[in-house]
A = this chain, B = another copy of it.
Amino acid sequence: MSTSSTSLAPALNAADAQFEQSLERLFALLRIPSISTDPAYNGEVRKTAAHVHGELESLGFKVTTHTTPGHPIIVAKWDDAASDGPRALFYGHYDVQPVDPLELWDRDPFDPIVETRADGSKKIVARGAADDKGQIMTFIEACRACIQATGKLPIPITIIFEGEEESGSPSLPGFLDAHTDDLKADVALVCDTNMWDRDTPGITTRLRGMYGVEVTIEAADKDLHSGYFGGAARNPAHVLAKIIADLHDDDGAITLPGFYDGVAEVPDDIMAMWQQLDFSPEAFLGDVGLSVPAGEKGRSVLEQIWSRPTLEVNGITSGYTGEGFKTVLPAAASAKISCRLVKGQDPDAVRRSFEAFVTERLPADCKAVFKNKGAGPGIELDTTGPAFVAAQQALTDEWPKPAAFIGVGGSIPIVGDFQTRLGLESVLVGFGLGDDQIHSPNEKYELESYRKGIRSWVRILFALGETA
């Protein structure tokens, strides 16, 4: 038996023994409102970075907080490992989504609490509990347990934490390019995804990419009185509505020319695996008050969210939106729109097609202003590497059911950046659940996700140590 496996049990015991303190440390992190997308919270984001920096330093990592044009990037290194195993680059983000509409939260989003359900299961409720503070703390606390039990980590580790993930990670790609040597590793570990279900851990191998844009249609040079000008002056809200309406056909397909170029059908064997997963479209939609799949006709829900590109309006604003009524003709109308892209689509071609689509539809006196909000391609990972195999086994050892290779509808652009900029494949392991309400009011993280998540990382680190 190798040194690694002898030490696994003490490390797991150390994790269990200090779980209450691990929870306290997560709460301390959740209490800082690190909303990266709203400049009003810049100070809180910096405070969060300093807090995380301190945690890692106290564990014995060599930590550097790098300033960027946006929010700080933290790099922490551990070189004195128990084996010559592969160096892992662990990625997570310490920023969180905005909390509006605040009135839909049952309590202060930044006053975390553990709530117990009727069935005895417990959840941690707070903004960022699942996305991504709870997840990054599973890794930090796993490192702590290993260090406490053995004085070392099982493998050499570099940690990179960013604070701009929820605002499109504008600083990260340039940072990777500028620090390729410092970030050199054999495999990337990313903790920002879900399990398949409560009992089944998942390794995510398919991710949708993203093209985000805010388009503003401008007409008159100010809001106009709809009585004096209504009927004679161009209303940009109508123009925007027409453009949005034109973006999908009656069968739910996206009408942007060339949008589906390069999109492959899912291979039959993968489709068969998905059909075997315990998945109920009715329950999936029913959980959020819906009943009928709304997207492309003839595609299953899993197919839609894992393998098909989408185009969705995330927000619209135009004219008077306050209390009461104001009979203006708006001077402008604006929509935030994002496309989820799949492997094979070129984000830049999608951007060009979108901009041409809008521009062609502008009537006289209107102009369109485009603000790009980041773009990244869809990804499918090669699951045959030793790190995938080791992680799959470690997860299977920890949880009731074997780990599954799954897809995810969301985008994690870092995975593409690690491929292209650092030459690294990412193993995406996370302990979120589909009902965690990330990006929504009353976000939660299962207490069990946190507890077994920490234990899972302990197991994965030791398993990776044995791949040396």
Contact = CB atoms under 8 A, between A and B. Distances in A.
Interface string A73-115: 0000000000000000000000001101100100000000000
Contacts of A408: 227-228
Contact of A225 (B242, B308, B438): B438
A231 B310 CA distance: 5
A316 interface: yes
Contact of A439 (B101, B168, B225, B293): B225
B237 A313 contact: yes
A214 B325 contact: yes
Interface of A: 36-39, 97-98, 100-101, 104, 166-168, 208, 210, 212, 214, 219-235, 237-238, 240-242, 244-248, 281, 284-285, 288-296, 301, 304-305, 308-310, 312-330, 333, 335-336, 338, 340, 363-365, 373-374, 408-411, 434, 437-441
A372 to B, nearest CB: 10
Nearest to A244: B241
7 smallest beta-carbon distances between A and B, as pairs: A227-B410, A37-B324, A221-B289, A315-B319, A241-B244, A245-B245, A231-B310
Q: Which of A214, A231, A288, A294 counts the most chain B CB atoms within 10 A?
A: A231
B319 A336 contact: yes
B321 A325 contact: no
Contacts of A437: 222
Contacts of A98: 320, 322, 324, 326
Nearest to A317: B321
A295 B225 CA distance: 15
Contacts of A237: 244, 313, 315-316, 335
Given A240-B241, A308-B231, A226 B317 contact: no
A411 B227 contact: yes
Contacts of A100: 320, 322
B305 A330 contact: no
Contacts of A294: 231-235, 363-365
B314 A330 contact: yes
Contact of A340 (B38, B231, B308, B374): B231
Contacts of A167: 324-325
Contact of A39 (B168, B293, B316, B323): B323
A227 B208 contact: yes
B314 A37 contact: no
6 contacts: A230-B340, A231-B340, A233-B294, A241-B313, A313-B318, A316-B318
A364 B313 CA distance: 18
Nearest to A224: B288
Given A219-B290, A235-B313, A326 B439 contact: yes
Nearest to A240: B241
A293 B229 CA distance: 10
A114 to B, nearest CB: 22
Contacts of A227: 208, 305, 340, 408-411
A257 to B, nearest CB: 19
A212 B314 contact: no
B364 A325 contact: no
Contact of A241 (B241, B289, B301, B410): B241
A64 to B, nearest CB: 27
Contacts of A363: 292, 294
Contact of A310 (B230, B244, B304, B441): B230
A293 B232 contact: yes
A235 B308 CA distance: 16
A128 to B, nearest CB: 14
A127 to B, nearest CB: 12
B292 A234 contact: yes
B212 A290 contact: no
Contacts of A234: 290, 292, 294
Nearest to A281: B232
